Structure 1
Amino acid sequence: MLDIADDLHRWVEEGRDFAVATVVSVGGSAPRGPGAALAVDGEGTVIGSVSGGCVEAAVYDLCVQALQEGEAVVERFGYSDEDAFAVGLTCGGVIEVLVAPVAADAPDRAVFAAALSAAARGGAAALARVFRGPAELLGRPLLVTPASSDGRRAGPYEGTLGGHRELDRTAVGESRALLAAGRTGEFVVSASGAHCGSEVTVLVESSTPPPRMIVFGAVDFAAALVRAGKFLGYHVTVCDARPVFATRARFPEADDIVIEWPHRYLRDTATDSRTVLCVLTHDAKFDVPLLTAALRLPVAFVGAMGSRRTHEDRNRRLREEGVTEDELSRLRSPIGLDLGARTPEETALSIAAEIVAARQGGTGRPLTGARTPIHHDTSDGSARRRAVA
């Protein structure tokens, strides 16, 4: 539900009753993953999506029912000859959806409100809810916030999964681990560990600040790439050493504009495993020191613009600076997929497409005639764990 936090936070502020349907489990091919949500308020207004259109009508009805009855439910939608067209899930997958009411006077309202507020302002928070287990535990929220920056003090938590101290303790620990990794996932607690008489499965939705895209080179192509980066949900920074080009008038949609030598800025700014670095300067005096530093950072993507001749010359210069072959293998250059792009907008699209493919494990090839999965599973197995209380 945190994926529609902006709208839900507004509904909370307006005092609306609403019900939220959240995808908690996916099997096979499905359009959206765990954490995707659809919500309906007391007037029948709907926001969000759980399936890209496949089962929205059925889920809408479940939300209306939850608002009327005040009870959380879990519904499974799967493909079969009998029900495929009845609910519209014709893609061959299976999804489970947790539908929970959030009334204005509900005891858990404050926990939901705090989680939605944190996510709406771009803060870090993890929301844990039981979706398999005793009926009285379904949908109960527990909110976890990050540890202190020095790691010495654990972040606080609010709410309870049902008043069972050991279950809450386990949920807090697992939620903190998923939040630290910026992941949404599930974990299972045995009947003895849950202390509630039966095994429970908990979904943890993580909300983290948006990943960074740093665009080096205040050129026309950069302006289009800034727009594409914002569309993909990145916090976009433009960096260039030339103040005449790096202006707010040229890049009105950028979150930050930095006038500095690129390699110096990269040295001093914060990056992480989700950061995307796009080097559009194709000028050796900028590119070489910048890429020498960039290729040694644990970031998600390093790409550089330029012709194939520029690429070969740049690689030669980087090797002379001591960049290893393993480090060079991380460089995506010329940047972008082969779309036949010519305009800045088309080029930005090709770069954005390569970034998405790299992030999601896609091939970049047409789906027509391919036998590769449409929806790639990029999890490393850590998103579903069996916890020990």
Structure 2
Amino acid sequence: MTITSTSSQLRWIRPEDARLSDLLEVLREQTDLADYPHASRVEQQVLVYDWATLRHTAADEVTRRDVLAELARALSDGPGIIVLAGAFDAEPLGRATAAFERMIVEQRESGTTAGDHFAKPGANDRIWNALEKLAVADPVAFVDYYANDAVALAAQAWLGPGYQVTSQLNVVNPGGAGQTVHRDYHLGFQSAGTCARYPAHVHALSQVLTLQGAVAHVDMPVESGPTLYLPHSQKYAHGYVAYQQPEFQSYFLAHHVQLPLSAGDAVFFNPALFHAAGTNHTTDVRRMANLLQVSSAFGRAMETVDRARVVAATYPALVSAHAAGMPARAVANVIAATAEGYAFPTNLDRDQPLDGLSPQTQAERVAAALESGMPPGELAQLLAAREADRSSH
């Protein structure tokens, strides 16, 4: 993840510079069990830890630091993925599963079908913001579930203290189609063109802002489509601009690994790892996983700013400046300082992506309003409605 070149050309990650041969050079590295003394085994280049053993080692504050360091190394310089086998006991897992099942039934009966980043609405059963919904629906189940140290251990290893947990419950029903290969949030949710606008050090930084995870709520044989991975691919610097290119997708399809999981297993991986959910080829397995996305405590502004209020106050002046011939770049600079330029966090039940993986940002709405000549009052109403959609309830 270290960017060492001083060449101005290499400070930018460009799609045209992505070469499959460079990825293959990265993938030559193999996972050596001897480098990870707390791991139980290596399966298809993936490190597997026996949670029954690791939990006792991690309970001691001295040895816990060694475990944290090892997991961080595995996620960064190693295969980029770890499995904590047997991370969740049957009782708390079962109670959370029952709560999620009730939510799915209620969602279906209400006639609302949650959209999915990759699947068509209705193809899967998706519960957005499952963390908050579980807390409200069954507080006891929530407490028992998240008291588990497996999530905390992985999160602390990668992000340190002060992290924030979010989750999305996903059920891929029999016949449900798999995903295309991708990297994850943040840069992984942007187009290659957008990613190329960020300097190279941001591509490296994006990896350490989040940790991806999944808790298996049912047994997942390979034929049910558990996630496909390309171990060590997180170390490929051009990955965010490369994974959408056909030759990289073809290579992934031919060379990925896929591990079966048992109910209660937990998987954690670097968000830059090439991965994709598999197709459920079974006729009777509803593949249920609680998808965890844990965010760093950092990456937040120092002050709370009411961006909608700032937009309302300045939009008339910006309209006048635009009409008077203010250059497009200057207009964009004003909008960047005024409006929220990032789509997340949001409520993905209501504020869903219409094109791509991210909803429209507040800044994009202001720019569109300016170009269309939208009156200030109408823009204020639009932004207020969208802010209401972003609320968690």
TM-score normalised by structure 2 residue count: 0.29
Higher helix residue share = 2
Higher strand residue share = 1
Higher relative contact order (CA 8 A, sep 6+): 2
The structure with the larger Rg is 1
